[in-house]
Amino acid sequence: MFDFTIEKTDPSGARAGRVRVRGHTFDTPVFMPVATQATVKALTQAELIGLGAQIVLGNAYHLYLRPGIGLIQQMGGLAAFMRWPGATLTDSGGYQVFSLAPLIEVSEDGVSFRSHIDGSEHLLTPESAIQIQHAIGADIIMAFDEPVGYPADRARTLEATERSDRWAARCIEAHEGRSDQALFGIVQGGFEPDLREASARRLTEMPFDGYAVGGLSVGEPKEQTFDLLAHTAPLLPADRPRYLMGMGTPADIVRAVLSGVDMFDCVLPTRVGRNGTAYSKKGKINLKNAQYQDDPRPLDPDCDCEVCTTYSRAYLRHIYKAGEILAARCVSYHNLYLYLRLMERIREAIREERYREFAEAFLLSF
């Protein structure tokens, strides 16, 4: 039901491969557009297909609270509900519980919290997080974990990391017999290299289909992020997908691939797009800036997406300043186009064994 094949390993350590799950196939390294509430903000599913997206990510916390797992189940699961023909992955909601919801209590059993929507009280446990994801029906589901924010003292980090790893074992048990969905574990350990190493050791002794690196890009300095990633990723099994959760910019992705990461997600392309910021091959363009009010050029002169071949920066700035919905759609569309074309270029460079040169040139220009 789940198969990961590495088709090429570049001398830099970057990997190109393919995942097959429940009749779906996607190429790695892959970027997963974030469909938190069963929609990628500002874009239609037809547009995502046209952009070349192969897998999207939903969030169990948000979908559990609204519209509720009963409705999603009734509609045939997440993919059927949102009319998405590709693969799906759901995050367990651990990060959202700790970052969005007013907490009541964290215990060995799980996390009691109040909904950020209506204040209702809920208990999320490793078992219920898995049951919720079973009901949502994503192709790949994630273990329930307890991340820590930055900064975090060692005692707090140790407690959360060891509890996350115990919860991971409970997730494995709750998932037993469900070979129709792949289950990934999440390495924690905060900002302590030895705790990340211990977490990776414990999790890789469990039969997960893939392994994620969690708890990074939560406020720590960028170089610390990549030092910890470079330390952690090689500890994960070479024959399983490695997933870096929740980051990042195009430059972040290019750097992380050097550590052998295979899967990425991030809200940035659509979040900054809705706020008038476009990515280009040479950095960011903030349409709020007055310098673009009479600029006839496209967002990115080197981009051949529908937005760049149709609209000028001046027009996009105008409709953004006017509060028109089209501005959010256009800039989000362009940003996702750039991200997904970047992944194609990354895979091509790996297959041609020139990834380090590609990465160095990209990072110099971006």
Q: Residue 171 — pLDDT band, cuts 50, 70, 90?
A: very high
Q: Quick check: 220 pLDDT over 90?
A: yes
d(CA 324, CA 176) in angstroms, rounded, equals 49
Give yes or no for residue 345 having a pLDDT over 90.
yes
Q: Please tell me the CATH superfamily of domain 2-266, with its number.
A: Queuine tRNA-ribosyltransferase-like (3.20.20.105)
3-state secondary structure the chain: CEEEEEEEECCCCCEEEEEEECCEEEEECEEECECCCCCCCCCCHHHHHHHCCCEEEEEHHHHHHCCCHHHHHHCCCHHHHHCCCCEEEEECCHHHHHHCCCEEEECCCCEEEECCCCCCEEEECHHHHHHHHHHHCCCEEECCCCCCCCCCCHHHHHHHHHHHHHHHHHHHHHHCCCCCCEEEEEECCCCCHHHHHHHHHHHHCCCCCEEEECCCCCCCCHHHHHHHHHHHHHHCCCCCCEEECCCCCHHHHHHHHCCCCCEEECCHHHHHHHCCEEEECCEEEECCCHHHCCCCCCCCCCCCCCCCCCCCHHHHHHHHHCCCHHHHHHHHHHHHHHHHHHHHHHHHHHHCCCHHHHHHHHHHHC
Dist CA 73 CA 138 (whole Å): 11
pLDDT at 167: 98
Average pLDDT, the chain: 97
Residue whose C-alpha is closest to residue 265's, from 252, 274, 255:
252
Mean pLDDT of 289-306: 97
Q: Give the residue-averaged pLDDT of 31-53.
A: 98
Write out pLDDT tens, residues 325-336. Answer: 999 999 999 999
List the catalytic residue out of 91, 139, 252, 300. Answer: 91
Residue 344, pLDDT > 90, answer yes
Residue 281 has pLDDT above 90, yes or no: no
The percentage of the chain sitting over the pLDDT mark of 70, rounded to a whole number, equals 100
The pLDDT value given to residue 101: 85
Q: Which one of the listed residues 165, 209, 265, 300 is annotated catalytic?
A: 265
What is the per-residue pLDDT across 89-105, written as a single tens digit (0 to 9) for each?
Answer: 999 999 999 988 888 99
How does residue 177 score in pLDDT terms, banded at 50, 70 and 90?
very high
Q: What per-residue confidence (pLDDT) applies to 241?
A: 98
70-127 pLDDT, tens digit each: 999 999 999 999 999 999 999 999 999 998 888 899 999 999 999 999 999 999 999 9
Domain ranges of the chain: 2-266, 268-360
Mean of pLDDT values over 274-297: 96
State the pLDDT confidence band at 278, using cuts at 50, 70 and 90.
very high
Banded pLDDT at 37 (limits 50, 70, 90): very high
Whether 91 sits among the annotated catalytic residues: the reply is: yes
Strand pairing category for 121-124 and 111-114: antiparallel
Q: Model confidence over 239-266: pLDDT tens digits?
A: 999 999 998 899 999 999 999 999 999 9
What percent of the chain stands above pLDDT 90? 96
Residue 366's pLDDT band (cuts 50, 70, 90): confident
Which pLDDT value is given to residue 13? Answer: 97
* Average confidence (pLDDT) over 334-347: 98
- 229/252 Cα distance (integer angstroms): 11
Residue-wise burial string across 99-119, b where 16 or more C-beta atoms lie within 10 A, e elsewhere: eebeeeebeeebbbbebeeee
Q: Which residue has the tokens 């090689």?
A: 234
What's the rounded mean pLDDT across residues 170-197?
Answer: 97
Q: Is the pLDDT of residue 17 over 90?
A: yes
β-pair type (111-114, 277-280): unpaired
